[in-house]
Structures are given as structure tokens and as C-alpha cells.
Amino acid sequence: MLMLMVVVIVMLSLGLTIFKPKNPDISIHPTGLERFQVIGGSNANMTMGMMITITNRNYASFEYRNSTSNVKFRDTVIAQVPIVAGIAPARTTVTVKTSAEFMIGELLRDPNFWTGISNGTLNLQSSSVMPGIARMFNVFKLKATTYSDCHIAFDLLTKAANSTCVSRIKF
């Protein structure tokens, strides 16, 4: 009887700690910002490297499919960031390199752009939906989707960018 109780308690705490899904930490950093400039015609585009860091704190690996993340200035999509399918193994951090074409022309056309950068900071929002599969011990397999919303502050003078993201995983 006592043995059974111990087993039940161990199973319960395992269930609550190991199997409890933890939200991933995802951050997105533009690279090569030193080349950023807001010149060019109304169709000007600029390719910028992007680094996406995914920290999977779960005991399950997360296998994600191809997806696209949108970067917005207010309500205007100014870049689409392709994320090529990959795996974020259990309890590790992976870094994914990609690049995005920034539609500078769209930014320049936005009447809020000039007032928005008047204090030297360009504030952007990114949102990604990464559908995939969570896999544990090669036994359990579950459909999962990771959502991530980031706020990216880009200092136009120092060309440094900060991002703060909120991510969650849903099964």
C-alpha cells in the first residue's frame, strides 16, 4: 500500500514536472544592421540577416515545419522572415539563421514612419506561428504549435536592436 502510494506520488510529480509543457524562449535579432539605411525609391528593399534563437525547455523535442514570420511597423507588414523546417531538441538552445527582405519603400510610405522615428528609435513588431510536432523519448508524439510575438526596438543612431518576446506552445 505504501509502495503504491510512493509510486503514485512519483508518477504525479513526474507528470507535473517533466510532462508539464513549458513555454519556449524565442528571440529574434536582426544582423548586419550597420548597413541599414532609409534611402531609395518607393520600391526599395533591403535584405537583412536575422538570427532566431529558440530555447526549448521541455523534455520533448520540437520539430517545426517551414513557416514565415511577419515583421510589422504598426499595421504594415514590412518584412517576411522565412523559417526553414528544423528541430529544437529537448532542453537545448538552437540558433537559426535566415534573412528577410525589408520593404523600405513600405516604411517610407507610412505617414507614421517619420513621427515614429523622431526620437531615433524604430519600433517593430514581429509575430511567428510555427506549427510542428512535439516528440518525447521517441514514444509520445503530439501536434504542437509555437507562437511568438516580439517587440524589436531599433536604435537608428547606434544601429543596435533590442528585442523582447513572448512565446507560448500550444498542443
Ligand X SMILES: *[C@@H]1O[C@H](CO)[C@@H](O)[C@H](O)[C@H]1NC(C)=O
10 scored as a contact of ligand X (CB under 6 A): no
* Contact pick of 119, 141, 143, 166 for ligand X (by CB under 6 A): 119
CA atoms within 13 Å, Cβ hemisphere of 160: 2
- 3-state secondary structure labels for all residues of 16-56: HHCCCCCCCEEEEEEECHHHCCCCCCCCCEEEEEEEEEEEE
Residue 57: CB minimum distance to ligand X, A: 23
> Of 84, 83, 81, 76, which Cα lies nearest the Cα of 101?
81
Which residues, listed in sequence order, are joined to residue 141 by a DSSP beta bridge? 135
Nearer CB in complex with ligand X: 58/79 = 79
Of 121, 125, 127, 163, which lies in the binding site for ligand X, with binding defined by CB under 6 A? 121
Site string for ligand X, 19-58 (x = CB under 6 A): ------------------------x-x-------------
Nearer to ligand X, 95 or 119 (CB): 119
Q: Which chain residues interact with ligand X by CB under 6 A?
A: 43, 45, 66, 84-85, 101, 103, 119, 121, 123, 153, 155, 160, 162
